[in-house]
Structures are given as structure tokens and as C-alpha cells.
Structure 1
């Protein structure tokens, strides 16, 4: 079982008389440790702390690094935090300053990168801390799995850029950046399905810092975020127990109730029912099946979440749609022969039972809608369905190409957010990447139809491809005039978040391929 290990360092006391002591740094250590335990649910024994009394020598630090490295498994995540003096503005090598000496920041990053942990998150709270680099951008290979790729690598978030100092908080006995970081670690609104992403943590810290800089123009701090990592790290902070809807399945002589899906809205209880016809029935016979299924389904209790169950439990269904197909593949692919609608007397039957074309009509008080392209769709599915091996291979090849391009786009966008490159420079840098993404995306829309057993995985990959294509739109020279600067940023932020979410869904479904 993977865990998160942490090394938390704060240096308050310095032996060199010319270097000012920083009393709040030892408080930073205690505050970060508390936030890691209560926010990210890291075990106390998995956190190594240095500097609670103010002193941290280079020897102390090296010993702690070795201890951290020795205790870390290849599937673990690692957090390194430093608070203290930082030396070396832009153009000079940056160093983290300990009580007795200094160590190259880049050398520390490189050492941490080599530790066997899967994902490493590095937080630097010191002056000029944005004066660091990461080694390139991660790439995804054909033989790689999303499970191994997602969250693998390292990311660095600094408290300031390469020319700014970092400040103590005016109202708290800790630093400004550490205050924001601890708030982000413990923000319950960031928890999704029991996990908090590194992406959400850094976004919230950057937002808090932006507000701080606006209110304190003489003490501005611009956090710098860079990563050589596949996707983002998801820290498990609590046990997530998903709500599992009740599964309804019933086999009768003439039909099978394949599933019942809740589509409730407000106080209206509604169900969508998939029914497989086991025999070639007439429309009149199908109407009788529809009425029989309706009587059964009206009383079932199927919900998407506990809140809806609390409000609608015990209530009869108000509206029931039944989707008829001829086999399980029809159910999986949403290929239906006809759809029937039943509503209770409280509904507007003139609306729900309207007959406005030759494919809609009433039989036995059941509203029918025929789907005239049913046979054609079945033929298209069968004629264009690829083998499992072919679909998996061409999809994995596309994953390798598009994910690698997505990581490059996000890396360049981060440098724009870091104020290292201008918006125009970003647009120019993305020009060739945009063309390649578009070419690959168009190719992905012409893949063979996947067999039923990998349909969900294939569709999740297609959604991921679409999201990566969206990443290429907002700073595309063709469309840049259609949005404002703020709108481009907002759209890009939402799409980056969606990319990480889509990547996680593909990872979860990958084991079935």
C-alpha cells in the first residue's frame, strides 16, 4: 500500500553573524507538520522534522535525506518542505541556507528526483526561490501504462520568483507562503472522492498569493510552479466510500429488465429502463411489456446519491422511459429499436404524449417513439468493429502521442503563469504543437469501433483526446482574437483540471484492457 512520506525543514538560527535569524521558520515547521497530518492525513511517523528548536546543520539535513530515502517505497509519494534563507538571485546559483552552510537548491532537487518514490512535491519558502529549473517535460511511451505514468516525477512550488524576497506574515508567527500552503493542505473543498490533487493545492496557493500581492504591492510574492511529472499527484486524504446505486436485473420469458437508471429531477421521480426483447414481439405486444415493466419499476428504489434517496424514498415513480433493444450489445451501445414513455396523472400528458411525426404514436395508452435507424446503426457497429488487439494498439499509440503533447502544452502554459514568458511568446511556442495535436485528434476520430468489453475504456480515452484537443484551442493563433486574456486563462485552467480528471478515469479503467 502506497503512503506519503515527508521531510519538513525550517532554519531559524544561523551561526554566521552577518545572517539574520528568522524566528518564524521553526514555527513554520510545526504548522506544516500539523497541516500534513490533519489535512493530507499523513501519519506522524512518516514525517521527519528538522528545526523545531531553530538549528539545522547541513549534516543534520543530509542524515535526514538519507533516512527519508531509505524509508521510501517506489509507490510512495514524497513531500519536501523548506523554510529559511535562500541565497542567489536570478543569474546566480540558488542555495538553501542552513545554520552552518548552504547547499545548492538544484542539487537538492536532483537528489530528491532520484529517490525511488513515485511522485515528489517540493515546496520552497525562501527568498529568490523561483531561481530553479526542472529537467525537461515527461513523455508517455507506447509500452507505458497510465497507472505508472500518472503522478510519476517531481514538481516544485516556490514562494517567490527569482528576484523577490519572501516575507513573514504580519498577523501570524509564520511566513506568508507557509500560511497559504497550510490552508491549502487543509481545505476540505479541495477533497474530491477522498483525494486532493497537487494541481489544486498549487492553484489555491497561487490564488492566495495573487490576492496578497494585490493588497501588498510593496511585498509582492509570485509563486513559481514547474513540473516534470505525468499528470498530477493525487494524495489520498480519507477513505472514500462511493454511493452504489441498487442494480435491478430481472429475466422473464419474453424480456429482460437489463438495468434501471435514476434520472430524478427535483421532486419528480423518473427512471430510464433498458429492456432486452427475447422474442420478436409486435408493437402491441411491446406496449403490454412496457405496461408490465412500468408496474414493476414504479416501486423500485434506485438513486444516484444518498441525498436524493432521502428526499424521494417511498415515492412512486412519476415518469418512466423504456429503451427496447434485442441484445446486451444494444444496451451497452445505446442502440435502441424504440422508446416508450409512461407518465402518471400529475404530469402534462399533452406534452409527454405528443404525436408530431410518423414515428411517434400511442398504443394501449403507451407513447411510442420508433428509431428508424436502428438496423443501420447495428450494421455500422458490426461492420466497423475492430478486434480488441487492434483497438487497444491504435488507442495506446494515440495516448503516447497526445499525452506527451499535452504535458508540453501545460509546461509552457505554466511558464506563462509564472510570468517567465509573455502571452504572445506562449502563442508562438505552441504554434507547432497545436498543429500536431489537431492532426492526431482528427486521426483518433477515425478509429475502429471497440468491442463491448473495452467500450468504456475506449470512450474514456476518446474523452481524454478531446480534452487534449481543447488544450490546444485557447492560445491557437486562429482563435486567439475570440477571447479576452482573462477568459483564455479561465478556460485553460478548467481544461487542465479536466485533463487530470480524464487521465485519472482512464487509469481506473485501464486494468480491464
Structure 2
């Protein structure tokens, strides 16, 4: 049994400055993290929604990072504050000089955790300050197997649009499958890449800090190519440098087509659609078959060929 637990926090009011989308974003995060794409269990999620006092939130964070779990994940949506003493996530009982839980304190809980993987995701203003230490707050320190993903740099605000955080909207899309690899795995790195590409140079910039020797999966969805099909890549290409010769018998619209070749061709077309295979000398696979050309693996195709060949997929 995998021990994967998550604390999902959405706080929506601080000194009459409401963030109405934070609770809704947290509810959506709770829902999507609880199950994988096929309905199988993923994280055991504890939600804190609407309001939280400092002591309550601090205790929940400490408990999250206790124990020898496989993964401990903390997600926060709400107000963030930056002072000369560092960054803070703001609680609903905040007052001057006691605004909430410091980012430095959170990172210490995570750094001392015995969880195999620790992941912190923040959607709040100045969230890029998380994991910064030192007199100028410019040095990042993360323990082994720890990842921080934030919605903005430490000197930036995080924006809402249509009642939802811009960052969290992209994060949810990524977890729905937008950031999945061909095997259906969604990792912190692929999530960051997805969000980074969506946000332009003039918008808030996400921040990604990590100290890992491997990426853990945040969620799994249905593979873009069925794994049983993907594993055939070494059957069709016995050598990764090989080109497969095609002819009209591979095309099912041709009167003299070969049914076995047609099945192979359909798999090859799936590989083409995901960038694993390309026709040689022709723009489309149809013309490669009709003109008796060939097809070959791309660099990405060779990567998956190697994974299959080494029994890693």
C-alpha cells in the first residue's frame, strides 16, 4: 500500500481582502488529487477550507510532514505576504506582526520530514520566497527529494481570473492530463513545464525549485498510447536505427491490402501522432505507404524504444 497524503488549504479572507476563488480552487484540488484518472486511489487528502487560525494550520502542516510516508504534499491557495523577515502564508486571524505561518517554518517541517518525497505547491502572492534563506533571502535550500512549485516570483502578485487563480487553473488542467507523458504519468517537472509555457513574459512567472534524483508521479491518467501498443515498438523496430519499408498493402483503403500489415500500420500511425515515428521522404504516412517509402523512429521514439527494450515500461 502506498502512503501518499496531502494537505489542501484554501483560505479566502484577510483584513476584508477576499479571494473568493481560493476555496473553490482548493476543493477542486482535493477532488483531483484523491483519485487517479482511472478512479484508483491516489492521495489521502485532508482539506482546510475557508478559514484557519495560525495554530490550526501550523499543526496540520507539522502533522502532514510527520511519518515515513511515500509522498507528503502541501497545497495552499490564499494570501501571501512578504516582509523583511521573509514570506508568510496568511491565516484568517492575522494581525500586524503576526500575519500567519512563515514560509521558512514550512520549509523546515518539510526538510526534516522522513517522507520519501516532499512537495510544496503555493498559489499566493510572493510565493517564490518559499525555500529562500540567508540575509538577502536569495539562496534556496532544499533537502533531498523535495520540490517546491509556486505561482509567482517572490516580488510578484498572483492573479485571479474568472473566480479562480490563474496558476491553479493551469495546475488543474495539467493534472487532468495536460502534463501527462505517453505512459500517463504526471510529475512536478511536467506540471511546471506545462504552466511555464502557458504564462507569457509579461505575466506572473511560476517558480520551480527541486532537489531530487527522480520524479515522483503526482497523478496518473489513461496513457496517450495504450501500453500494450507502446511495447510493440521493439517488435516493429528490432533495431532503433531501422527503417520500416512500407507499400500499398499497409493501407486498408487499397483493394489488395494485407490485414496484418494494416494492423501494424494503425499502430505506427499512433506512434506518428505522438511524435515517436516519422515517414521518410513523405509528408504523411498515407503517402509513405502508397509510394512504397518507409518510416523511422524519432529521438523521442528511440527513448521509448530503449525503455521497452530495457523492461522499464
Distance 1:125 1:73, change over 3 A: same
Distance 1:203 1:221, change over 3 A: same
Q: What is the CA-CA distance between 1:136 and the residue it aligns to? A: 4.6
Which residue is 2:253 aligned to? none
Q: 2:73 aligns with which of 64, 76, 79?
A: 79
Q: What is the CA-CA distance between 1:242 and the residue it aligns to? A: 2.8
Post-superposition CA distance 1:77-115 (Å, at most 9, x none): 2321111111115x5411111112411102102212332
Which residue is 2:279 aligned to? none
Which residue is 1:5 aligned to? 5
Q: What is the CA-CA distance between 1:20 and the residue it aligns to? A: 1.7
Higher strand share: 2
Q: 1:175 aligns with which of 158, 165, 190?
A: 165
2:217 pairs with 1:221: no
CA distance in 1, matches of 2:308, 2:52: 39
Which residue is 1:128 aligned to? 126
TM-score by length of 1: 0.42
Distance 1:231 1:128, change over 3 A: same
Q: What is the CA-CA distance between 1:137 and the residue it aligns to? A: 7.1
Distance 1:108 1:20, change over 3 A: same
Distance 1:100 1:203, change over 3 A: same
Which residue is 2:117 aligned to? 119
CA distance in 1, matches of 2:186, 2:245: 30
Q: What is the CA-CA distance between 1:158 and the residue it aligns to? A: 1.2
**What SS does the aligned partner of 1:35 have?**
helix
Distance 1:299 1:99, change over 3 A: closer
Higher helix share: 1
- What pairs up with 1:96-111 in 2 under 5 angstroms? 96-101=89-94, 102-111=100-109
**What SS does the aligned partner of 2:111 have?**
helix
Segments of structure 1 that go 5 or more residues without pairing to the other structure are 139-151, 249-258, 271-297, 311-346, 349-493
**What SS does the aligned partner of 2:159 have?**
coil
Post-superposition CA distance 1:422-441 (Å, at most 9, x none): xxxxxxxxxxxxxxxxxxxx
Q: What is the CA-CA distance between 1:504 and the residue it aligns to? A: 12
Contact 1:10 1:56 in 2 (8 A): no
Distance 1:304 1:120, change over 3 A: farther
Q: Highest CA radius of gyration, 1 or 2?
A: 1
Distance 1:300 1:179, change over 3 A: closer
CA-based RMSD: 4.4
Contact 2:82 2:88 in 1 (8 A): yes
Q: 2:87 aligns with which of 91, 94, 108?
A: 94
Q: What is the CA-CA distance between 1:179 and the residue it aligns to? A: 0.9
Which residue is 2:18 aligned to? 21
Contact 1:9 1:82 in 2 (8 A): yes
CA distance in 1, matches of 2:153, 2:269: 50
Segments of structure 2 that go 5 or more residues without pairing to the other structure are 95-99, 133-139, 251-257, 271-290, 293-298
**What SS does the aligned partner of 1:88 have?**
strand
Q: What is the CA-CA distance between 1:267 and the residue it aligns to? A: 4.6
Q: 1:186 aligns with which of 164, 176, 195?
A: 176
How many residue pairs get matched? 259
Post-superposition CA distance 1:270-307 (Å, at most 9, x none): 9xxxxxxxxxxxxxxxxxxxxxxxxxxx9999x87973
TM-score by length of 2: 0.66
2:54 pairs with 1:58: yes
Q: What is the CA-CA distance between 1:132 and the residue it aligns to? A: 2.8
Q: 1:161 aligns with which of 130, 153, 169?
A: 153
**What SS does the aligned partner of 2:160 have?**
coil
2:227 pairs with 1:242: yes
Distance 1:168 1:504, change over 3 A: farther
